[in-house]
Amino acid sequence: MKRREFLKTAGVGLAASTVAAPAIAQSMPEIKWRMPTSFPKSLDTLHGGAETLAKAVREATDNKFQIQVFAAGEIVPPFQVVDAVQNNTVECCFTAAYYFIGKDMTFALPCSAPFSLNSRMQNAWQYNHGGIALMNEFFKKYNMIGFPAGNTGCQMGGWFRKPIRELADLKGLKFRMGGFAGRVLGKLGVVAQQIPGGEIYSALEKGTMDGAEWVGPYDDEKLGLYKVARFYHYPGWWEGGTQVHFFVNLERWNALPAAYKAVLQSAAAHTNVWVQAKYDAENPVALKRLVAAGAVLTPFPQTVMEACLKAANEVYAEESAKNPEFKKVWDNMVAFRNDLYQWWQVAEYSYDSFMIRTRPRG
């Protein structure tokens, strides 16, 4: 350190040692929170996001604010983490909001819904089109406040024992899938079932299931599904850019000093970009390994995609007719989506098109 700087900082330090401690003590209290996630530890992208968030908070507060992370089921079952936050059993959680559409379909929209926003559009909507505030009006009913904290990017359509060649192939198909998209596919004859990740492999092997969707190459590889259902369909039109959330109990949030609120928000945003970056860095190499191991990349036929879009729009209309809160959020989101894709196709998409077309030449 240069002498002049040393003198300057030393002076500051001296003055500081006699001052400002109680304000600091008040503004930087020691806090310990517990954060269950809805993900197993093996998902080092999603569960890893929770660890990244906790680390950022811990380090930014000089270890004063400690958030202990628990994997799915360690202290709270994976699909009850929102209830635990709502009831103040835990202070916060890390999850995908669409796991909670049983309470209200609106939970799907800031997370992922069929033919909705891609990853960057979801961020644009959340941070700069009032999405965070709009959703927090809704989350308030569940005694929570929430912030975007990760994104998977567009997911894959899943693993199928036989390829989907035409619409008729969907009739009677037993497919592992939950929630919103299950309702859409139900209109087209699919028998959608929700079974835990750990049971998918044997269900496909035995033939009690015809197909199953999970996430994308990096996460899917761990389940080994390519060994029992080798047709890997794309795109996952029900998950164009699935965003995960960091939820905090509202009373706990309100009791925090302002500095800690700011630390949590930046840590969540940091985690948001980190999770997407990790998926984007890991998926390409995982995809290569999967294809080398026998996975057969198979696009959904456009006729099937069109039928799914039509069915999805029916579900959106049905839900909007009976759920004003859902309608309010979806109307806002779909108008934004339509504007955004109009711009997207100009620079972003034509750039990607050219890069994809010329890639084989390096």
Residues 140-169, interacting with its own copies (CB under 8 A): 153-156
Q: How far is the CB of 208 from its own copies (least distance, A)?
A: 27
Binding to its own copies by CB under 8 A, coded x per residue (else -) over 197-216, reads -------------------x
The one among 102, 141, 318, 343 contacting its own copies by CB under 8 A = 343
Applying CB under 8 A, which of residues 50, 60, 109, 134 lies at the interface with its own copies?
60
Among 37, 276, 326, 329, binds its own copies (CB under 8 A): 276
Binding mask 303-332 vs its own copies (x if CB under 8 A, - otherwise)?
Answer: --xx--x-----------------------
Of 182 and 235, the one with the shorter C-beta distance to its own copies is 235
Q: Residue 90: helix, strand or coil by DSSP?
A: coil
Taking Cα atoms as reference points, which of 154, 157, 155, 308 lies closest to residue 232? Answer: 157
Q: How many CA atoms lie within 13 A of 208 on its CB side?
A: 9
Crossing angle (nearest 10°) for helices 119-128 and 258-292:
170
For residue 362, the 8-state DSSP code is -
Quick check: helix, strand or coil at residue 64?
coil
Residue 272, interface with its own copies (CB under 8 A)?
yes
Residue 238 neighbours by CB under 8 Å, 6+ apart: 112, 113, 114, 155, 177, 180, 181, 184, 213
59 touching its own copies, by CB under 8 A: yes
Q: Establish if 118 lies at the interface with its own copies (CB under 8 A).
A: yes
Token readout for 125 is 């909507």
* 121 forms part of the interface with its own copies (CB under 8 A): yes
Among 23, 133, 198, 322, binds its own copies (CB under 8 A): 23
- The DSSP call for residue 74 is T
Give the number of other CB atoms < 10 A from CB of residue 163. 15
Does 128 bind its own copies (CB under 8 A)? Our answer is: yes
Contact 184, 114 (CB under 8 A): yes
